């Protein structure tokens, strides 16, 4: 495994307005290999989003560091892309411009930007909506556009923070399949936060199980199943049960 990203002893403490100190992340160590698909699960408020923000360079680590190809990540850069839960599309831009928006900064001409945007809209089956506006799309369609935008920028690593969290179950399963297909054809490295254990076992090469706050890595569980995976496979059920049990222990504070 070629390691391209490492979190080394990353901790973070926030100070609230009334002076209270909240330790959100505690001594997280994680090595991410090229083309890995890693899912992070953990109790609500355990610091999952904070870890992703630190890895992306949006938030400084309190102590410790994040290394991308052994160089410290200090600010957001083109090598690391991010997809959030709430689509974060620009409402005043048509779909194709929403996908192309990250490319302007690299000084590319509009014709070239649109060519790339069209390709990725095609990949996420949204070509016919290229000139629609975000408010004309369903939640699932908007999230497809957000994924197309993230891939269009061609980052080596894609960070996804509960990207399918607000979608209905059917759309969610459809987009999980599509994401795997794009990941396989475009060879990306993905770090994916989810509160759905089913989603994690369906998608990941390895599932990182976090403890309750302050978030520590409790266990890293390899998912040794061929893709496409079947939820009817008994191993799928056993792995899901195992993770659910760990999470329940974290929430109730005792072994069960
Ligand atoms: P998760 O994504 O796992 O639900 P978060 O990373 O969003 O958790 O938050 C972890 C903890 O840190 C929570 O208790 C949250 O309230 C706190 N927190 C996150 N961001 C801030 C901030 N900017 N200021 C103060 N507290 C924060
Ligand atoms: Mg979160």
Question: Of all protein residues, whose CA lies closest to atom 14 belonging to ligand 1?
Answer: 45
pLDDT tens for each residue of 100-127: 998 887 789 999 999 999 999 998 889 9
236 Cβ closer than 6 Å to some ligand 1 atom:
no
Is 168's pLDDT higher than 90? no
Per DSSP, which regions of 34-117 are E strands?
A: 37-41, 63-68, 71-72, 80-83
Exposed e or buried b per residue across 184-218, where buried means at least 16 C-beta atoms within 10 angstroms of its C-beta: eeeebbbbbbbebbbbbbbbbbbbbbbbbbbbbbb
CA of residue 13 to ligand 1 center, whole Å: 9
50 Cβ closer than 6 Å to some ligand 1 atom:
yes
> Residue 245's pLDDT is what?
97
Question: Of all protein residues, whose CA lies closest to atom 10 belonging to ligand 1?
Answer: 47
pLDDT tens for each residue of 51-63: 999 999 999 999 9
Q: Which residue has the higher pLDDT, 1 or 36?
A: 36
Predicted structure pTM score: 0.94
Average pLDDT over residues 246-250: 95
> Residue 256's pLDDT is what?
53
48 Cβ closer than 6 Å to some ligand 1 atom:
yes
2 Cβ closer than 6 Å to some ligand 1 atom:
no
């Amino acid at each position: 495994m070629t390691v391209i990203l490492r979190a080394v002893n990353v901790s973070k403490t926030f100070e609230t307005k009334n002076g209270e100190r909240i330790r959100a992340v505690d001594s997280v160590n994680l090595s991410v290999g090229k083309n890995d698909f890693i899912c992070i699960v953990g109790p609500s408020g355990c610091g999952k989003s904070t870890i992703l923000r630190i890895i992306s360079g949006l938030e400084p680590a309190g102590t410790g560091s994040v290394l991308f190809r052994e160089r410290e990540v200090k600010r957001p850069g083109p090598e690391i892309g991010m997809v959030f839960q709430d689509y974060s599309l620009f409402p005043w831009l048509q779909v194709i411009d929403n996908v192309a928006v990250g490319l302007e900064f690299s000084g590319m001409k509009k014709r070239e930007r649109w060519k790339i945007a069209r390709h990725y809209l095609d990949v996420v089956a949204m070509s016919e909506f290229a000139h629609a506006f975000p408010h004309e799309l369903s939640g699932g369609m908007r999230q497809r556009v957000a994924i197309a935008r993230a891939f269009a920028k061609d980052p080596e690593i894609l960070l996804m923070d509960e990207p399918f969290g607000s979608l209905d179950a059917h759309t969610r399963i459809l987009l999980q399949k599509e994401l795997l297909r794009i990941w396989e054809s475009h060879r990306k490295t993905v770090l994916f936060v989810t509160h759905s254990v089913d989603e994690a076992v369906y998608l990941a090469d390895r599932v990182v199980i976090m403890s309750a706050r302050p978030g520590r890595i409790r266990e890293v569980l390899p998912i040794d199943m061929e893709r496409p995976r079947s939820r009817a496979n008994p191993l799928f059920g056993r792995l899901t049960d195992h993770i659910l049990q760990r999470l329940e222990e974290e929430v109730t504070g005792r072994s069960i």
